[in-house]
Each structure stands twice: as C-alpha cells, then as structure tokens.
Chain A
Amino acid sequence: MAESNFRQGAGEGTEEAEETVGSLNFQIVSGSIEVAAPRPYPWEERARMSADASDLSLVRRVQRGDKGAFDALVLKYQHKLVKLVMRYVRNPAEAEDIAQEAFIKAYRALPQFRGDSAFYTWLYRIAINTAKNAVVSRDRNPVEYDLDRSNTDESYDMQGRMKDSETPEGLVLTDEIRSTVNAAIDALPDDLRTAIVLRELEGLSYEEIAAAMACPVGTVRSRIFRAREAIDRRLREVFEGGLGRAEELG
C-alpha cells in the first residue's frame, strides 16, 4: 500500500476487494484504493425495492373509496393506454373510447386487484382484452361509413381523427402542446435533457440512468425533476392561456 492513491470514478472491472464506507464504495485493487460510483443511500434502496409503490398507494386509496386517486392513475396512463389500443384499432377516436372503457372496467375490477403484478401490467391486460372484444364486435356488426374506399389510408385516418370526441380545438391544442414541449426540451441543458429522455424514452430506472450518466441516483432524481419543471413552466402557459383545458385535467 506504499503507492496507494485515490482515483474517483474509475472502478470498472475491479473485483478484487470491496469495502463500503458510508455511501461510498472503496475498491482496493493492487495497492491502490479506487473510489467507485457512490453507493445508494438507504432511502434510494427503499425506493428501488418499492418499484410499484406509488401506483400501489394510489390503488389502495381507490380500493378504500377514494375516486380522486383513480383520476391520478387515469392521468398517468391514459396516453400509454390509447397508444396500446391503437395497435388494434386505427381510428384514434375509437381507441380513446376503448381506452376509456378499459379504465372503467379496471375501476370496477379494482377490488380484485391483488398487487401480484404491477398495476400497469394488470391495466394493460384489461385494455388488450377490451380492444380485442371491440374488434370482434365491430367485425360482427360492421358500421357502414360514408367513405370513399378508394381514398388513401391517410385521408381515412384524417376522417377518423375528426370523428366523435376529436374536435378541431383539441387537435390544435395537441399540436401546440407538442411543439411547446419539444421546444422546451431543446432549450434544456444537456444533463437535464439526457436524464429526462433516458427516463421517458428509454424507460430506464433512476439507478440505470445514474450508471449511464456516472452520477448519484439523487442527482438523477433532481435532474429529472428540474427538467420537468422547466418544461412544465412553458406547458402550463399553453394549458392555462391556450384553450382553457387545464381545469379538465384537475
């Protein structure tokens, strides 16, 4: 150990010895002590172990009669569910109807939800079954649309988008939201943008992002929060000043 030195963040491939001091991970390798990426704090360990805790806490509240908690679950998963259903039906309006039906079915079936699987996995299955049933039902009772079948798929989609609940205002708002969020993401500092994109696009956990960005998990949490806040600041203006839909989210 006469030539011991300290090097930070260079612990790859060192498996000879490992010792934990506080939240730091010291690795003693061939006479040198390397300080690898910090070990997670206890609260971070707990967070990792309770992977589905937030959904589960909301589900338990709904099971105890709190409908407001179910609104939070709908807000969180509505877009994912619509996108999922759109694998079965091409019409976005129909997909929204099916997703809505799936949420209502899920609410009714929630007393039977045992928490064996993640809430979204359970909801996913309900949505898939609802979509399949809708497709079967539609095939049995085809609705005659007044469409020129010689039209291209694109025009068919466009007409589908304009049906039922889709309003021109809604489409305009959606486009405005997209452009606002994309502009806000472009304006983010690199570290914040990388953290939020890894989380939302790649679906990585905080721990995986920490490993990818070589920083503590707490820093990842902070970066993602700050990125969301920066985007949300601009998004809030669209919702509140735009077409007055903000109150419908609440």
Chain B
Amino acid sequence: MNEELDSQLSAMFDNELPAAECELLARRLSRDGDLKARWGRYAVIGAVIRAERGVTLDGTMAGRVSAALTSEPALTDDAARSGRRVQSRWWQPLAGAGLAAGVAAVSVFWLRSQALSGHSQVVATVAANSSLVAPAARPAVQSGSVAASDSFVVPPAPQGQMMVVPATELADYVVAHSAFSWPVSRGNLLSALMVSEPGTSSMAAGSDQPPPGVHGNAIQNPH
C-alpha cells in the first residue's frame, strides 16, 4: 500500500480531504478490505486516545451491523432520487410567499371593487344630504352623474358649532394624502377601508382627484 494513499486515508478519516479526492477514495474504501480494516483501526486509535470507557474495541459491532444489513435491500438510485426529491424543496417557501401575496392582492382588489360598487349609493346619499353641503360645492354634487363622483364633499359641521368629527377628519387626511401620493397607490386599502367608516363613506369613493376647493370650502377645520 503506497504512502500517499495511506496519507489520503488518514486525512479523509479526519474530514480534511478535498471532495474530489474523497470521491475516488470512498469508492476504493468501500471495496478494499485491507483499506477498510486500516480505517477501522484508525477509529480504534481515536477511541483509545479519548479513553472511551465501556466501549469494546474488538470491532464485532461493525460485523453485526453488516450482517444485519445483508438482509436489507440495497438502496437504489430510485431511493436516493426520492431523497433528493425531498431535498429540492427550496422552492416551497417561495411558492408560499407567492400564494400569500396573491391572496393579499385579490383581497385588496376585492375591497376596491366593493368600494367602487358602493359608490353610486354614496353619491345618492350625498345628494340627499345636499342641504348640508356648502353652497360652493353644491353644483358638483347636484349633477348626480358618474362624472360627478370624481368630486366629493365632506359635510361641514352645523354653522356656529365647533364639533370634533374624528371620522371626517381622518377622511380629510386620506383625501389630502391621495393628492400627493404615487398614482398607483391612490385608492389603496386605507382608502377602501374608509368607505366602511360611518360618516365618511362619501369620502373614499372618488378620492383619486380631490377638487381644489374641498379643503378650503367644505371642511371646517376644528383646529
């Protein structure tokens, strides 16, 4: 047995041999009885140095395991492939994330569509309450057409009373934000949620383009 091979075997035993050399040596090790016996003695040397008490060193256990495995079917490429199939699960987290994103997107679009479908009712409600609308904003609402839905008016508080209307104020912030936000994000989930806010249902529906006069004329700022 040449010295280089023995040196490789020693390094392989310590997991310090390059992978390419391991492949070749592993093949030889599995077939060469002398090499395997030497490998086993290397393990014995390690066990003695570590003073592993109670461990028998006569090597009979390896023989018993080997004998027990003779009745076992050899692992086939199919079995290994099924193992590797399990191994290729890297895409599963990505698929999960994609699915979650899809559900979220559908939810957002559904909420937006719900908001738009309820928009005509909102316009009707606003028209019915037109007596509360400031005179400057009245013509836009009275038209009652779909085009008029692009403008919206927050009902002002009764004259002379400084009421704090949180929902209305919140709607004002959303509208104001929409005026400056990125076009894609306009009419986002927050706007859609505003539709369900009591007293603010008239706000969110057409919040893409708030009319210029809405802040100055229609809302009485409590501050």
Contacts and interface: CB of A to CB of B under 8 A. Distances in A.
A63 B15 CA distance: 19
B72 A79 contact: no
A96 B61 contact: yes
Contacts of A43: 18
**B interface residue count range (under 10 / 10 to 19 / 20 to 34 / 35 or more):** 35 or more
A67 B74 contact: yes
A47 B17 contact: yes
B220 interface: no
Interface in A223-250: 224-225, 228-229, 231-232, 235-236, 239, 243, 245-246, 248-250
A174 B54 CA distance: 10
A135 interface: no
Contact of A165 (B29, B49, B64, B79): B64
Interface string B57-74: 111111111101110101
Given A54-B26, A64-B77, A65-B74, A111 B83 contact: yes
Given A57-B19, A75-B62, A83-B52, A104 B68 contact: yes
Nearest to A83: B52
A181 B80 CA distance: 39
Given A63-B75, A108-B72, A115-B87, A71 B62 contact: yes
A222 B47 CA distance: 21
Interface of B: 6-7, 10-20, 22-23, 25-27, 29-31, 33-34, 36-50, 52, 54-66, 68-70, 72, 74-77, 79-80, 82-84, 86-87
Interface of A: 43, 46-48, 50-58, 60-72, 74-80, 82-83, 86, 92, 95-96, 99-100, 103-104, 107-108, 110-115, 161, 165-166, 169-171, 173-174, 177-178, 181-182, 185, 196-197, 199-201, 205-206, 221-222, 224-225, 228-229, 231-232, 235-236, 239, 243, 245-246, 248-250
* 5 closest residue pairs by CB, A with B: A68-B30, A63-B80, A250-B33, A111-B83, A79-B47
Given A78-B43, A229-B6, 12 more contacts: A65-B77, A66-B74, A67-B74, A68-B31, A72-B30, A78-B61, A111-B79, A165-B64, A221-B7, A221-B11, A249-B37, A250-B37
